[in-house]
């Protein structure tokens, strides 16, 4: 069985979850190595089990990442293009139902700040804050694994816990906001479950299941804002 047929069988078996595996060069032969998807939202994205990656690497040279789109076209999504860049490897994508394939490889792609699709842990509100700081100020903010579902995160968000580790300090009450300050908000829930970037009379943010946008810092958003931070490191 060739690697494409093996990847297709794995994708069909895992549907409606996304499958993920690796294309290996084992003694000059291409082999498909199936991996476990550890994502808490496996119907939408994947997190390749690092133990599987290490095992595959011991068997041969890793040539590409292969994953499925069970519900959509195999064309790479924005989240795929971002993750492909981060992986440094080509990606093959398969739809297991119509057996069509897509492909992408690292090309220096940089996702726009505005109009990006929301995908938990890849292009969400914290990802947008990180990307703004990288693009606008060449600052690399640390990332955090989203090892829970979005629903679980809302109940116990980590933003407030990690702000100091990330290099932010909380502003005093009454202290004027400056461009680039981070706003910690409560959106439709009492916990501090959302972050945004202050841009003067506008904010840049990415709400769940919406496109990222820049919009006026309205009275409603101001009421949702519970804490304000400035990058200090």
Q: Are residues 144 and 201 in the same domain?
A: yes
Is residue 176 pLDDT above 80, yes or no? yes
Is residue 146 pLDDT above 80, yes or no? no
| The domain boundary residue, chosen from 69, 104, 139 | 104
* pLDDT at residue number 62: 98
Residue 191: give its domain's CATH number: 3.90.1720
* pLDDT at residue number 161: 81
CB distance 102 to 73 below 8 Å: yes
35 is catalytic: no
Question: Residue 174: which domain range?
Answer: 125-231
Give me the catalytic one of 205, 206, 213, 224. 205
Flag whether 113 is in a domain: no
Q: What is the rounded (10 degree) CA torsion for 33, 36, 41, 47? A: -70
List phi, psi (to 5°) of 154. -60, -35
Q: Are residues 75 and 144 in the same domain?
A: no
- Number of independent structural domains in the chain: 2
| The domain boundary residue, chosen from 73, 104, 135 | 104
Is residue 68 pLDDT above 80, yes or no? yes
Mean pLDDT for the chain overall: 94
Q: Are residues 168 and 224 in the same domain?
A: yes
- Tokens representing 29 are 């032969």
Residue 41: give its domain's CATH number: 3.40.140.10
Burial 154-167 (b: 16+ CB within 10 A, else e): beebbbeeebeebe
* pLDDT at residue number 188: 87
Flag whether 44 is in a domain: yes
Is residue 144 pLDDT above 90, yes or no? no
Flag whether 82 is in a domain: yes
| The domain boundary residue, chosen from 39, 69, 104 | 104
Q: Are residues 146 and 226 in the same domain?
A: yes
Q: pLDDT band for position 140 (50/70/90)?
A: very high
Is residue 189 pLDDT above 80, yes or no? yes
Give me the catalytic one of 35, 45, 125, 224. 125
Give me the catalytic one of 10, 67, 69, 194. 194
List phi, psi (to 5°) of 66. -125, 130
Residues paired with 20 in a beta bridge: 35, 67
Q: Are residues 98 and 132 in the same domain?
A: no
Q: Are residues 132 and 87 in the same domain?
A: no
Q: Are residues 100 and 133 in the same domain?
A: no
97 is catalytic: no
Residues paired with 102 in a beta bridge: 93
* pLDDT at residue number 193: 92
- Tokens representing 201 are 């009379």
Q: Are residues 77 and 162 in the same domain?
A: no
pTM tops 0.85, yes or no? no
67 is catalytic: no
Helix (H) or strand (E) holding 214: strand 213-216
* pLDDT at residue number 41: 85
């Amino acid at each position: 069985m060739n690697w494409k047929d093996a990847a297709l069988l794995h994708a069909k078996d895992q549907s409606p979850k996304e499958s993920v595996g690796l294309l290996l060069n084992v003694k000059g032969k291409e082999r498909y190595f199936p991996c476990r998807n550890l994502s808490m939202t496996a119907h939408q994205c994947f997190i390749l089990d690092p133990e599987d990656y290490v095992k595959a690497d011991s068997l041969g040279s890793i040539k590409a990442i292969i994953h499925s789109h069970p519900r959509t076209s195999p064309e790479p999504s924005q989240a795929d293009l971002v993750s492909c860049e981060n992986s440094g490897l080509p990606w093959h994508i398969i739809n297991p139902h119509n057996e069509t394939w897509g492909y992408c490889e690292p090309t220096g792609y940089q996702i726009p700040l505005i109009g990006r699709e929301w995908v938990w842990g890849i292009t969400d509100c914290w990802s947008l804050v990180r990307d703004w700081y990288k693009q606008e100020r060449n600052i690399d903010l640390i990332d955090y694994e989203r090892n829970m579902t979005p629903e679980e995160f809302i109940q116990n968000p980590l933003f407030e816990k990690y702000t100091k580790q990330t290099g932010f300090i909380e502003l005093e009450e009454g202290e004027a906001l400056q461009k680039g300050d981070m706003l910690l908000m409560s959106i439709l829930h009492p916990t501090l479950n959302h972050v945004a970037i202050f841009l003067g009379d506008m904010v840049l943010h990415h709400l769940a299941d919406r496109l990222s946008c820049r919009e006026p810092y309205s009275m409603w958003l101001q009421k949702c804002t519970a804490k304000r931070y400035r990058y200090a490191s």
